[in-house]
Structure 1
């Protein structure tokens, strides 16, 4: 019975951390992510999907490699801070244009690039968690 309770608690915590991660990412953009998705903005969908997948990769590795829910949450936080940092670093190394503006305008190339930056970062950071 304890195993089932631990499993349920772990799943609930994982879902809540994933949702929290996505909410924080939506606060970082200067536009409403959900509104842009409703409009069919593919670039925003790609970038948001990359953020979701990157967050899931870090969360999955943190859950897989830690037996304690507290350590899982700690390693997820470390990985998530790295994802947030890479977003701001990406903004800094592209001073000639605003990533948010290009995403809002539907620039698919920027959406794909940002998604890959997040996913690549998640894989790299996840190797530190193991």
Structure 2
């Protein structure tokens, strides 16, 4: 019975962390992600999906490599902060490219690039968690 409770608590914790992570990413954008998704903006969908996948990769590795929920949450926080830092560094190193503006206009190339930045960063950061 204890194992079932531990799994249930872990799953609830993972869902809450994933939702919190996506909420913070939504606050970081200069537009309303959900409104853009409702309009069918595929570029925003790709970028948002990349953020979701990136946080899921870090969360999954954190859960897999830690037996304590507290350690899982700690390593998720470290990885998540890395994703946020990479996003802002990406903004800084592309000064002629207003990412938010291009995403709002539906620029698929920017959406794909941003998704890959998040997914690639998550894989790299996850290797540090192990």
- Aligned-partner SS, 1:59: helix
TM-score, normalization by structure 1: 0.99
1:84-130 deviation digits (Å, cap 9, x = unpaired): 00100000001012100100110000000000000000000000000
Following TM superposition, by how much is the alpha carbon of 1:6 offset from its aligned partner in structure 2, in angstroms?
A: 0.5
Aligned counterpart, 2:103: 103
Following TM superposition, by how much is the alpha carbon of 1:8 offset from its aligned partner in structure 2, in angstroms?
A: 0.4
TM-score, normalization by structure 2: 0.99
Matches for 1:8-47 after TM superposition, within 5 Å? 8-47=8-47
Count of equivalent residues: 130
Structure 1: segments with no counterpart, 5+ residues:
none
C-alpha separation between the residues in 1 aligned to 2:97 and 2:5? 49
C-alpha separation between the residues in 1 aligned to 2:34 and 2:44? 9
C-alpha separation between the residues in 1 aligned to 2:87 and 2:97? 14
Two-structure CA RMSD over aligned residues (Å): 0.4
Following TM superposition, by how much is the alpha carbon of 1:22 offset from its aligned partner in structure 2, in angstroms?
A: 0.1
Aligned counterpart, 2:125: 125
